[in-house]
Amino acid sequence: MGPVLLVLLVVVLLLVVVILAKTVRIVPQARAGIVERFGKYKQTLPAGLNIVVPFIDKVRYLIDMREQVVSFPPSSVITEDNLTVDIDTVIYFQVIDPVAATYEIANYIQAVEQITQTTLRNIVGGMDLEQTLTSRDSINSGLRGVLDEATGKWGIRVGRVEIKSIDPPASIKDTMEKQMRADRDKRAAILTAEGQRQASILTAEGQKQSAILSAEGDRESQILRAQADREAAILRAQGEGQAIQTVFQAIHDGRPDQSLLAYQYLQMMPKIAEGDANKVWIVPSEIGKALEGLGSTMNDLRGIPTEVDGPLKRVDMGPSEPQVPTPASTASGSNPVVQAAIAEADAAAQTGRRAAQPTDEPTAQPPGQPSGNPADVPTETPAAPEAPPLS
């Protein structure tokens, strides 16, 4: 009896374990268990430890209550302009009613995929390729609205719909790339032309400013050069006038006569003989008479008297230092200092010319009465000695 009792005990223990396993069910977090009794829905088990009737109640499905992400394969869609594009979609959904998701539809994921494809064809069919490529948000909103309305009775809530990619045909891609490249080349050409235009404008403005500054510099330099030439001419005229006055005054102070001219002629004779072409120089024996004749001839020509008599006259030569106008006064165009210097030089020159002219008519004096000036007393001027004959 012992072994039989042992076997029975083991069988009873196994039966108890099986019954406990069928009675106690543990549902994971964020899951929901669908319990059927004799093939009919009995209850929904929440997460945690649950007790069911063994061999009568059965947990048929464990529904995931978390938000799920499903990526569907690309679907071919024809646009309004008869171009076929491949669109990949991503659906974010969540089961909010596990009983409806279990008994209202056999496979809700496949159903969502099919509704997504049909709705996508309907939405994209009313758009051309350009709108399809640039209207992702409107496509997502349209898909989400249709899917949320269709899957509501299945106990599913569609939270988000995203277009992952839109792939046009290869020929369309090539054409779009060419169009994009042409558009970029156009914008590059426009930017290059605008840059060249701005550069040309700036260059022209720079040349204009340079030309204006160069013209102003040339004008100022010409004005300064003209002022310098005028001042130099005035100074030269003043110097020449003073030189003429000095020579003229020296001649008057020296009171030249024929003897002086003969002496000057004798001093010039060696210089005349210094020329390379003068091979032979003959000195006449009557050099004294020749000099005397030369002196008388020059006396007649230059108005030099044979005997000098009369008072010694001094000529006023004006200021010894020339008056140089200042740059500020010359820049104004009318310098009173320069005008006064020119007038003074003209007056001095006229005075010198009047003094150089001999007086042909003597001043009338009463006979036998000398003039008030001691220099007017007639004096005898010794005759110039004759030059000794050269041997």
Q: Which has the closest alpha carbon to 172: 75, 86, 73, 74?
A: 86
Q: Which has the closest alpha carbon to 155: 270, 217, 64, 36?
A: 64
> What is the reported pTM?
0.45
User: How confident is the model at residue 341, as a pLDDT?
Assistant: 67
Distances (CA, A) of 229 to 218, 223, 226, 233, 235: 16, 10, 5, 6, 10
Q: Is 78 left (phi over 0), alpha (psi -120 to 50) or beta?
A: beta
The Cα 34–Cα 104 span in angstroms is: 14
User: How confident is the model at residue 263, as a pLDDT?
Assistant: 72
Tens-digit pLDDT profile for residues 124-138:
888 888 888 888 888
Consecutive 10-residue averages of pLDDT for the chain (391 residues): 78 86 88 90 90 87 91 88 89 92 89 90 88 87 88 89 87 85 93 94 93 92 92 91 85 70 71 66 56 51 52 52 49 56 72 56 42 40 40 31
CATH classification code of 67-168: 3.30.479.30
User: How confident is the model at residue 198, as a pLDDT?
Assistant: 93
Tens-digit pLDDT profile for residues 10-40:
888 888 888 888 888 889 998 999 999 988 9
Give me the residue spans of the domains in the chain: 10-64, 67-168, 177-253, 255-269+281-307
User: How confident is the model at residue 286, as a pLDDT?
Assistant: 52
Q: What is the length of the chain?
A: 391
Q: Beta strands 24-27 and 48-51: pairing type?
A: antiparallel
User: How confident is the model at residue 23, as a pLDDT?
Assistant: 87
φ/ψ of 106, rounded to 5, equals -75, -45
Contact assessment for residue 157 and residue 149, using Cβ atoms and an 8 Å cutoff: no
User: How confident is the model at residue 69, as a pLDDT?
Assistant: 92
